[in-house]
């Protein structure tokens, strides 16, 4: 049950900016793939996933406290990476700097969001099996 709630309450909520942007891209004929696949949407998803990992694990007790510490530590590290990418994206929007490769930023944010999804899924899968 925990995994299902995680999928509905966390993943779908984290994907709301992507869904809204997709809807806009469907109705706006001038929207390009650059508009549709925006790095900030994936940054939001990654931040939401990692924050919920920390929130879920923080108040629980486990026999294996090292496992809990590693998972929280990885989530904090991921939040730092997502925040750094978000700062770079915001800076590049502000400066309109051609020196930054937006494609690389987009690829990094998508890859990190996928890694965060798999990581978060593994946490909630374990919590789901522990609750049974």
Closest CA to 44 of 3, 11, 74, 76: 11
Model pLDDT, residue 129:
83
Give the domain extent around 105.
2-131
User: Has residue 68 got a pLDDT over 90?
Assistant: yes
User: Has residue 108 got a pLDDT over 90?
Assistant: yes
Strand ranges inside the chain, DSSP E: none
Burial class (CB in 10 A: 0-12, 13-18, 19+), 31: middle
User: Has residue 90 got a pLDDT over 90?
Assistant: no
97: pLDDT confidence band, cut at 50, 70 and 90? low
Domain count, the chain: 1
Q: Between the CA of residue 109 and those of 3, 38, 59, 62, what are the distances in Å?
A: 24, 9, 29, 31
Closest CA to 75 of 54, 58, 44: 54
pLDDT in tens, 19-45: 999 899 888 888 776 777 889 999 999
Model pLDDT, residue 49:
96
User: Has residue 94 got a pLDDT over 80?
Assistant: no
Long-range pairs, 52-59, Cβ under 8 A, ≥24: 52/6, 52/10, 52/120, 53/119, 53/120, 53/123, 56/123, 56/124, 56/127, 57/123
Model pLDDT, residue 26:
86
């Amino acid at each position: 049950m925990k995994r299902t709630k995680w999928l509905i309450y966390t993943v779908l909520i984290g994907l709301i900016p992507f869904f809204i942007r997709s809807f806009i891209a469907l109705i706006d004929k001038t929207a390009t793939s650059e508009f549709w696949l925006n790095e900030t949407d994936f940054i939001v998803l990654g931040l939401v996933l990692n924050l919920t990992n920390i929130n879920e694990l923080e108040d629980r007790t486990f026999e294996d406290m090292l496992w809990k510490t590693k998972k929280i530590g990885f989530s904090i590290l991921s939040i730092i990476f997502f925040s750094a990418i978000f700062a770079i994206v915001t800076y590049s929007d502000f400066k309109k700097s051609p020196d930054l490769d937006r494609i690389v930023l987009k690829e990094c944010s998508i890859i990190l969001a996928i890694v965060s999804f798999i990581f978060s899924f593994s946490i909630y899968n374990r919590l789901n099996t522990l609750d049974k």
